[in-house]
């Protein structure tokens, strides 16, 4: 081997290594979607807004403080006076109002807000899982469509070679014009199928860009997920019932509905309010004290007796909402169970299809080689070769689709069990921690700027 050959081989190896290093992985695609997907970022912003409901509800425990200032100018005129008298009265004060007891309405409002925040947090987790699954599916679709395009390009190249061969045989008197026409028709159909495959690939690439946020480059079909994969269907169903965030969100909404019932019942209990005020007055009005300070403390007890029936309707309504949310939990559990079972069955089916299709490809390839050899000795016709080639093509495309289905089904199963998470799958991206924002704002009593605890 001379030096130029060694240099060329070295360059080829370097290019190959660089290409492999830059190749996108399914985990990388999910990481980009997790960080950049606009729908997911909107869900996070929505959660932060829901978190603010807790300090809003907490404000019911805190005092209300208000300051006031007034100025009144007047003129007194009488026949007994040589000239009118102008005088001014000024006052400034502060009032503090504190709700001492409101039938536990504020307490239950806080609990409602907390439960809503926790439910929204679980809904956001479900949104994250859905986004990761969409990214995995988009990745697998692009990989499949790329393989189909490559297969159909190879088929078109093969058919063009068959057209040339048919023409050569016709010139030699070993073939007919019909053979040429048949191969040309097959080549034209293959060209149309290739155009369809290219269009499908472009659609999949557009979907990938929308979900992941980057163009699909250097993608090869991934293997089905294995990490944290349930071993049996029963274990998968149990995991889904235990870990799926949609179920957790529904349970938190039941809690919120229960606290709303208590809040509505609180409107029928007595309320106690304390109010303190201090005011300072300055005046030059004749006959009035020029400088005075007034302070007062007021305690008020309000006992509701009848409010037109509104309170009873609100309590009944809250109880019906509670019953509704309890039923929703059963519905969500059933949906999760169904999704797990479907994903598990799809994964089993895809695995079986892959094994069978590989055997089919091996057999179809051997058959194609045999038909080509038999045609050389006049035992087969051109149409036999074309049919055999189509058998290989169909088998290879079936394998590509089955491999895609296995990948998507495996990640669908993880999603259905609640295990398709950044932490659970070791996806290389910083995990969003919603609890940081919640802890930062839950007792926040002042400030208008959003908290950047993300």
Q: What structural domains and CATH numbers belong to the chain?
A: 11-62+104-268+310-441 (1.20.1600.10), 63-101+270-303 (2.20.200.10)
**pLDDT digits over 92-107, tens only?**
999 999 999 999 999 9
pLDDT of residue 124: 96
The answer, as to whether pTM is greater than 0.95, is no
Average pLDDT score over residue span 158-165: 78
CA atoms within 13 A on the CB side of 309: 0
β-bridge partners, 75: 86
Q: Under DSSP, is residue 74 helix (H, G, I), strand (E, B) or coil?
A: strand
**pLDDT digits over 205-253, tens only?**
999 999 999 998 889 999 999 999 999 999 999 999 999 999 999 999 9
Contact 436, 453 (CB under 8 A): yes
What dihedral angle (degrees, nearest 10) is formed by the CA atoms of 8, 11, 13, 15?
Answer: -140
Higher per-residue pLDDT: 290 or 447 = 447
Higher per-residue pLDDT: 182 or 46 = 46
Contact 110, 58 (CB under 8 A): yes
Enter the tokens of residue 35: 């960080």
Q: How many Å apart are CA 219 and CA 142, to the nearest integer?
A: 7
Report how far apart, in Å, the C-alpha atoms of 49 and of each of 55, 59, 109, 414 are: 11, 16, 16, 29
- Of the listed ranges 11-25, 191-205, 417-431, the one predicted with least confidence: 11-25
Contact 402, 408 (CB under 8 A): no
pLDDT category, 366, cuts 50, 70, 90?
Answer: very high
Neighbours of 23 (CB within 10 A): 12
Q: Distance from first CA to last CA of the chain, Å, rounded?
A: 59
């Amino acid at each position: 081997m001379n030096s130029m050959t060694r240099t060329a081989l070295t360059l080829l190896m370097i290019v190959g290594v660089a290409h492999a290093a830059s190749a996108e992985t399914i985990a990388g695609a999910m990481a980009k979607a997790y960080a950049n997907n606009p729908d997911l970022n909107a869900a996070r912003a929505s959660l932060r807004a829901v978190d603010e409901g807790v300090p809003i509800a907490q404000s019911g425990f805190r005092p209300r403080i208000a300051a006031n200032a007034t100025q009144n100018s007047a003129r007194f005129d009488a026949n007994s006076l040589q000239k009118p008298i102008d005088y001014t009265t000024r006052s400034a004060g502060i009032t503090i109002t504190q709700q001492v007891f409101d039938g536990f309405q504020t307490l239950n409002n806080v609990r409602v807000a907390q439960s809503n925040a926790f439910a929204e947090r679980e809904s956001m987790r479900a949104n994250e899982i859905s986004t990761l699954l969409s990214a995995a599916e988009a990745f697998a679709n692009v990989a499949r469509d790329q393989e189909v395009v490559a297969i159909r390009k190879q088929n078109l190249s093969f058919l063009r070679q068959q057209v040339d061969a048919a023409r050569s045989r016709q010139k030699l008197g070993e073939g007919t014009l019909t053979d040429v026409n048949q191969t040309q028709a097959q080549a034209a159909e293959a060209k149309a199928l290739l155009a369809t495959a290219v269009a499908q690939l472009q659609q999949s690439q557009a979907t990938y860009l929308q979900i992941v946020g980057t163009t699909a480059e250097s993608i090869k079909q991934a293997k089905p997920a294995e990490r944290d994969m349930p071993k049996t269907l029963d274990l998968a169903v149990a995991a889904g019932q235990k870990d799926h965030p949609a179920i957790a969100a529904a349970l938190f909404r039941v809690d919120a509905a229960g606290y709303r019932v208590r809040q509505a019942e609180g409107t029928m209990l007595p309320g106690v309010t304390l109010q303190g005020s201090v005011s300072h007055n300055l005046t030059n009005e004749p006959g009035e004290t020029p400088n005075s300070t007034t302070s007062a403390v007021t305690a008020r007890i309000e006992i509701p007796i009848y409010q037109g029936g509104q309170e009873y309707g609100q309590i009944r309504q809250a109880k019906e909402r509670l019953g509704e949310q309890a039923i929703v939990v059963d519905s969500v559990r059933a949906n999760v169970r169904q999704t797990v079972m479907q994903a598990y069955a799809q994964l089993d089916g895809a695995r079986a299809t892959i094994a069978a299709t590989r055997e089919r490809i091996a057999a179809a390839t051997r058959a194609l080689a045999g038909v080509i050899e038999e045609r050389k000795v006049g035992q087969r016709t051109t149409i036999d070769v074309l049919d055999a080639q189509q058998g290989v093509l169909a088998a290879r495309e079936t394998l590509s689709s089955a491999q895609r289905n296995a990948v998507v089904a495996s990640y669908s199963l993880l999603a259905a069990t609640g295990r398709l998470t950044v932490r659970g799958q070791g996806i290389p991206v910083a995990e969003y921690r919603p609890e940081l924002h919640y802890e930062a704002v839950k007792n926040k009593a002042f400030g208008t700027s959003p908290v950047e605890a993300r």
